[in-house]
RNA sequence: UGGGCUAUGGCCAAGUGGUUAAGGCAUCGGACUUUGACUCCGAGAUCGCUAGUUCAAAUCUAGCUAGCCCAGCCA
């Protein structure tokens, strides 16, 4: 699948054509402090696909400039997610790889009288910064001599000062209409062990200073980020310009991808996990890549979904149906279609011999012969889906079983329901039916049309299974802003039924279409004697 | 008059002055069907508003309106 036309692709084409750049270099710069989600997938796919399209390359760069928040435990998880999506970075870098060179650039700025050490504390700095509509005031430390700044900054690096005691700030313009230009902090003091550099440093560069330099060092040509960094581009350019880096990268922003009934923010996802509202980051209901993977989504589906949503400078909210459609399209031809009964209702074929089991031929996927075929069992004792039976056929649109009605059991025979058995509470517990031997599947019988085709499973040979059915974890709401209020109490429904014998040896993440019930994937916790399947999504239906 | 960004059918999104404004998702018809699936046909917008420029504008200009982002020593 090719990445379609979008404004960034157009910019790259123009830059290549004009000779502004000789090749395309992009990067995906996650901060190693959270699991990747489907929103990140857009950034990953965009960066890699664009570079690939133009024969360029993409680096993976962990943006680890804040040891307070970051942790190496996320590094491997992030690498794995990217690999799962099918991408291989040209290089794997860490922002912390560049601390020395970043430090030297800071010294250059001091020497050019473009940066100074400031003693204002956080609160004072806020006061001096002004507001959105009022200009700020210069820091009293703004005019220290270059020599003094050099010495102070050296002392900062050497650990002479406590956290927050001093900062290094760019000297730009305290009355600039863009708040980012009001002498932004370049370096702050943090006495914490960094996951990569240990205790070597106690001063750490801010994103706005580090990021453009990292891009410049790596030769990134098009540094893609989300819309909220638009305001920062002016600073990005200021850094690159004043540090006089040999290579000049450029930043381009695009909108975030949101999905209906899906929460993507790190904070909320963490809250869900921490409050045990889900079973961890790989809960099949989570929009994390690890969650989607467990749910059964394929990388191909995620890619076609992301590519299908396009790219623009709008924060878009796409319908979750589009994601579902992407998996259905991907799985439709490439997966086995087998029978599973999620909510079993016993059926006895009264005119079929006791004890006899017959094995009938059935293709795994009639639209993909490569998947081969298997035998399915038929006997006197069967299970059908409880919802496929109703006592009295309500209207002619009802295409399932009813009293006195004949339907086809897929890949088997026509059966007619003659009698319903109830328990003491009036619940239907069994159907007494008869079958017609002449209607055997594949026999070419066409003397009458059945009322419809339903699926079934043979009672003694089928395997017990648990089916996890999902609904959105969160429900979109205009009025309910609170996370807990929006939580969907029905997001996880467990059913227990049977699957046909043919798939008894399934292993984790194998995907199937359970005929008429949807696409499912075998769960990590599935075992031979207790199969567990997660529903990826339902089949489309024009039936209400 | 703080600054920045955005505005194409229900949701995404092509389109960069000149055929009946691509495509996907959703929706509604209809055909087919051993999955009410798949597949196949068919249906919908004059492009936020207003005023201009032009033979010609979604595409250029101006004004207006609406929405989003920015006052972390987070990214």
pLDDT score of A478 more than 80 = no
H helix intervals, A35-112: 38-53, 73-84, 99-111
What confidence category does residue A2 fall into, taking pLDDT thresholds of 50, 70 and 90?
confident
pLDDT tens readout for residues A515-535: 999 999 999 999 999 999 999
pLDDT score of A54 more than 90 = yes
Q: Which of A161, A162, A179, A159 is nearest to A170 (CA)?
A: A179
Structure tokens, A84:
């799962």
Tell me which of A111, A112, A266, A421 is the catalytic residue: A266
User: What is the pLDDT at residue A141?
Assistant: 98
Distance in Å, residue A313 CA to nucleotide B54 C1': 30
pLDDT tens readout for residues A199-252: 999 999 999 999 999 999 999 999 999 999 999 999 999 999 999 999 999 999
Nucleotide nearest to A329 (CA to C1'): B38
User: What is the pLDDT at residue A482?
Assistant: 76
Work out if A232's Cβ lies within 7 angstroms of strand B: yes
Give Cα A543 to chain centroid, integer Å. Answer: 30
Beta bridge partners of A62: A94
Beta bridge partners of A196: none
Please give residues of chain A from 266 to 285 whose alpha-adjacent beta carbon (CB) lies under 7 Å from any atom of strand B. Answer: none
pLDDT tens readout for residues A361-384: 999 999 999 999 999 999 999 999
pLDDT tens readout for residues A273-309: 999 999 999 999 999 999 999 999 999 999 999 999 9
Give the integer Cα–Cα distance in Å for A64 and A68.
10
What confidence category does residue A36 fall into, taking pLDDT thresholds of 50, 70 and 90?
very high
Mean pLDDT within A390-416: 97
Give the integer Cα–Cα distance in Å for A228 and A180.
12
Please name the residue whose C-alpha is nearest to the C1' of nucleotide B25: A322
- Angle at the Cα of A441 (from A436 to A444), degrees rounded to 5? 95
Phi, psi of A473 (to 5 degrees): -65, -40
pTM listed for this prediction: 0.96
Give the integer Cα–Cα distance in Å for A443 and A302.
41
Per residue, the 3-state secondary structure of A360-405, as one string, reads EEEECCCCCHHHCEEEEEEECEEEEEHHHEECCCCCCCCCCEEECC
Positive or negative: CA dihedral A70, A73, A78, A83: positive
Which DSSP state fits A230? G
Q: Which of A352, A348, A495, A517 is nearest to A428 (CA)?
A: A348
Query: What positions of strand B are covered by protein, i.e. any atom < 7 Å from a CB?
Result: 2-8, 10-16, 22-28, 34-39, 68-75
Nucleotide nearest to A64 (CA to C1'): B75
**% of chain A exceeding 90 in pLDDT:** 97
Work out if A122's Cβ lies within 7 angstroms of strand B: yes
What confidence category does residue A486 fall into, taking pLDDT thresholds of 50, 70 and 90?
confident
What confidence category does residue A385 fall into, taking pLDDT thresholds of 50, 70 and 90?
very high
Query: Do A224 and A46 form a contact (C-beta atoms < 8 A)?
Result: yes
Spell out a b/e string for A54-74, using b for 16 or more CB atoms within 10 Å of the CB, else e: bebbbbbbbbbbbbeebeeeb
pLDDT tens readout for residues A116-152: 999 999 999 999 999 999 999 999 999 999 999 999 9
Work out if A4's Cβ lies within 7 angstroms of strand B: yes
Distance in Å, residue A326 CA to nucleotide B40 C1': 20
Query: Do A272 and A278 form a contact (C-beta atoms < 8 A)?
Result: yes
Which DSSP state fits A438? G
Q: Mark whether A356 is an active-site residue.
A: no
H/E stretch holding A186 reads strand A185-189
Query: Do A116 and A141 form a contact (C-beta atoms < 8 A)?
Result: yes
Work out if A316's Cβ lies within 7 angstroms of strand B: yes
**Residues A358, A361, A364, A369, Cα dihedral to 10°:** 170
User: What is the pLDDT at residue A480?
Assistant: 67
pLDDT score of A481 more than 90 = no
Give the integer Cα–Cα distance in Å for A514 and A512.
6
Tell me which of A9, A256, A346, A399 is the catalytic residue: A256
Tell me which of A13, A31, A80, A430 is the catalytic residue: A31
Query: Do A363 and A373 form a contact (C-beta atoms < 8 A)?
Result: yes
Work out if A150's Cβ lies within 7 angstroms of strand B: no
pLDDT score of A263 more than 80 = yes
Work out if A318's Cβ lies within 7 angstroms of strand B: yes
**% of chain A exceeding 70 in pLDDT:** 99
What confidence category does residue A484 fall into, taking pLDDT thresholds of 50, 70 and 90?
confident
pLDDT tens readout for residues A412-438: 999 999 999 999 999 999 999 999 999
A238: helix, strand or coil: helix
Q: Mark whether A500 is an active-site residue.
A: no
Nucleotide nearest to A518 (CA to C1'): B37
Distances in Å between the Cα of A426 and the Cα atoms of A402, A420, A515 are 17, 11, 29
pLDDT score of A511 more than 70 = yes
Q: Mark whether A256 is an active-site residue.
A: yes
Mean pLDDT of all residues belonging to chain A: 97
pLDDT score of A48 more than 90 = yes
Strands A389-390 and A381-385: what pairing? unpaired
User: What is the pLDDT at residue A519?
Assistant: 98
């Amino acid at each position: 699948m090719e990445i379609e036309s979008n404004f960034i692709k157009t910019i790259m084409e123009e830059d290549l054509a004009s000779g502004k750049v000789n090749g395309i270099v992009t990067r995906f710069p996650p901060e190693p402090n959270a699991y990747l989600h489907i929103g990140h997938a857009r950034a990953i796919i965009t960066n890699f696909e664009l570079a690939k399209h133009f024969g360029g390359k993409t680096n993976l760069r962990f943006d680890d400039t804040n040891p307070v928040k970051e942790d190496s435990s996320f590094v491997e998880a992030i690498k794995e997610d990217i690999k799962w999506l099918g991408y291989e970075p040209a290089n794997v870098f860490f922002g912390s790889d560049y601390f020395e060179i970043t430090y030297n650039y800071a010294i250059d700025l001091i020497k050019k009288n473009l940066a100074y050490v400031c003693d204002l504390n956080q609160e004072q700095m806020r006061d001096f910064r002004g507001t959105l509509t009022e200009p700020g005031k210069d820091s009293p430390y703004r005019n220290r001599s270059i020599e003094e700044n050099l010495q102070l900054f050296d002392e900062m690096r050497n650990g002479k000062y406590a956290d927050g005691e001093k900062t290094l700030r760019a000297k730009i313009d305290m009355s600039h209409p863009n708040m980012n230009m009001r002498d932004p902090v370049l370096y702050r003091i943090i006495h914490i062990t960094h996951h990569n550099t240990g205790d070597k440093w106690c001063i750490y560069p801010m994103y706005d200073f580090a990021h453009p330099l990292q891009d410049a060092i790596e030769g990134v040509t098009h540094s893609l980020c989300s819309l909220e960094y638009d305001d920062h581009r002016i600073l990005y350019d200021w850094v690159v310009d004043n540090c006089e880096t040999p290579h000049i990268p450029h930043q381009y922003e695009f909108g975030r991808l949101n999905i209906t009934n899906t929460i993507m923010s790190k904070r909320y996802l963490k809250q869900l996990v921490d409050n045990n509202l889900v079973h961890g980051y790989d809960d099949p209901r989570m929009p994390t890549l690890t969650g989607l993977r467990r749910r059964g989504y394929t990388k191909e589906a995620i890619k076609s979904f992301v590519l299908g949503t396009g790219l623009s400078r709008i924060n878009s909210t796409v319908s979750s149906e589009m994601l579902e459609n992407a998996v259905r399209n991907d799985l439709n031809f490439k997966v086995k279609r087998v029978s599973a009964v999620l909510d079993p209702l016993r059926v006895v074929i009264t005119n079929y011999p006791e004890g006899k089991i017959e094995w009938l031929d059935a293709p795994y996927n009639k639209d993909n012969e490569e998947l081969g075929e298997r035998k399915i069992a038929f006997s006197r004792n069967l299970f059908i889906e409880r919802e496929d039976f109703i006592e009295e056929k309500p209207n002619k649109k009802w295409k399932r079983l009813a009293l006195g009605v004949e339907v086809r059991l897929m890949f088997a025979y026509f059966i007619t329901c003659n009698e319903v058995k109830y328990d003491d509470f009036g619940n239907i517990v069994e159907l007494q039916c008869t079958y017609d031997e002449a209607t055997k599947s594949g026999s070419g019988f066409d003397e009458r049309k059945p009322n419809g085709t339903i699926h079934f499973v043979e009672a003694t040979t089928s395997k017990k299974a648990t089916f996890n059915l999902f609904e959105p974890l969160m429900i979109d709401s205009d009025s309910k802003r609170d996370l807990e209020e929006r939580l969907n109490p029905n997001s996880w429904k467990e059913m227990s039924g049977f699957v046909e014998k043919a798939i008894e040896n399934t292993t984790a993440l194998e995907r199937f279409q359970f005929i008429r019930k949807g696409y499912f994937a075998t769960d990590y916790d599935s075992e031979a004697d207790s199969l567990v399947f997660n529903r990826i999504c339902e089949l489309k239906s024009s039936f209400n």
